[in-house]
Amino acid sequence: MVYLDSSALVKRYVKEAGTEELAAKLQVEESTSPAVFTSILTYAEIHATLARKFRDKSLRPKGFAHARREFDTDWAFGLTIINLETSILASVRTLVREFPLKGSDAIHLASALWLLHSTQLRSQARVGTGELVFVTSDKKLGRAAVRNRLKVFDPQSRS
């Protein structure tokens, strides 16, 4: 299983450092587990990032339209969305106290930890699950994830 934060997922729609590494990682992961998870927060973050890249002219009009279309298709059909539930938000308070995270990053980490915990419970019920890989290009968030015993993949550090 793979959880992607926005800093990593945007590489799927915009060519930047780590784009090829993310594509390779997702190809491997999707062959063993088709579920790619992200927070509902990602919708706003990706659209905001794409709009910023369009405004600063690092994305041309056709590239901007294509990236938005590709993301919206993935959002509708390719990603498994984790909603902001009280059980997820409850751990944000602790995460931001222990780690220097922005609120949005704490939500991503809390969502991944919730996913890990829920898959461990299913595993105990013999449903079977794979390993969870937390994919981020945010260094602070990656360090916090490692400290929370998550396996982290940073596509940017591989490029």
Write down all domains in the chain, each with its CATH number in brackets: 2-158 (3.40.50.1010)
The reported pTM is 0.91
pLDDT of residue 30: 78
pLDDT of residue 35: 86
pLDDT of residue 119: 81
Q: How far from each other are the two terminal CA atoms of the chain, in whole angstroms?
A: 22
Q: Which residues pair with 151 in a beta bridge?
A: 133
Q: What is the pLDDT of residues 49-66, one digit of tens each?
A: 999 999 999 999 999 999
CA distance 76 to 129: 23
pLDDT of residue 146: 97
pLDDT of residue 45: 98
pLDDT of residue 32: 81
Cβ atoms 114, 107 nearer than 8 A? no
Which residues of the chain carry a pLDDT beneath 70? 121-130, 158-159
pLDDT of residue 127: 43
15 Cα distance to chain centroid: 17
Q: Which residues of 123-148 are buried (b: 16+ CB within 10 A; e: fewer)?
A: eeeeeebeebbbbbbbeebbebbeeb
